[in-house]
Amino acid sequence: MSIHISAKKGDIADTVLLPGDPLRAKAIADTFLENAVCYNEIRGMLGYTGEFNGKRVSVQGSGMGMPSLSIYVNELVGLGAKRLIRVGTCGAYQPFLKLGDIVIAVSASTDSNINNTAFDHLNFAPTASFNLLLGAYQEAQNRSLEVHVGPIFSSDIFYQDDPDHFRKWANYGILAVEMETAALYALAAKHKAEALTILTVSDSLVTGEVASHQDREKNFLKMTELALSQI
Ligand code: HPA
């Protein structure tokens, strides 16, 4: 047992999908998994293990932001997880990204100090697992999905004071913003696990557009199917 996950070794599959929202973990289990067992309800942060196409997989809510995700990732690797695939939403920083497009994150710049603290204020470059990234990209192409592969920004701040804050990052090629991946990639590296973040665009900092709740859910499930193809 770990502090925030009421599972023991063997309860968690080698591959874990990590949505931020625990209700999305439930939706993934209900929609895609066979023989799903809920192994965690602590703090409402639902976790399930089941089968997809005969392969064992877990899906664990991570919560929002790097401190929350870090707690779950540390405990999951302690319970034996070897591949961690975050499935989430992002805000577009580039005009060519449309609502519902898929972003696969090569790397994650950040305004967070979470990794700098661990590295005594030197900079670590959080990077995706190449094998997972290549597999997800090729499968996205096979499925004719609108997919963009590149760097993202993991922020501690959802509501920035300056509405133009994103432009600096956009000028350096950052595709989109979310709030977890810089910590996920660093922790995966530390624990010799593989990690990948796959996101669907839910809003645009460039145009101010926001996807409807229905479209968000539809796009989220389409992206999750792509993630499940990699287990
Ligand atoms: N900012 C930060 N995180 C996000 C956003 C955003 O606009 N959209 C989805 N996750």
CATH class of 15-228: alpha beta
The amino acid occupying position 213 is H
CA of 179 to the centre of ligand 1 (A): 7
Residue where the block lists tokens 């302690």: 78
Distance between CA 41 and CA 231 in Å, rounded?
A: 24
Task: Give me the mean pLDDT over the 67-93 stretch.
Answer: 98
Active-site residues: which are they? Answer: 203
pLDDT at 26 over 80: yes
pTM higher than the cut 0.85: yes
Query: Helix 213-228 crosses helix 22-32 at what angle (to 10 degrees)?
Result: 60
pLDDT in tens, 146-200: 999 999 999 999 999 999 999 999 999 999 999 999 999 999 999 999 999 999 9
The amino acid occupying position 65 is G
Distance between CA 55 and CA 228 in Å, rounded?
A: 10
Distance between CA 77 and CA 118 in Å, rounded?
A: 18
CB distance 110 to ligand 1 below 6 Å: no
Terminal-residue alpha carbon distance, the chain: 24
What is the per-residue pLDDT for 77? Answer: 98
CB distance 202 to ligand 1 below 6 Å: yes
pLDDT at 1 over 90: no
CA of 177 to the centre of ligand 1 (A): 5
Burial class (CB in 10 A: 0-12, 13-18, 19+), 162: exposed
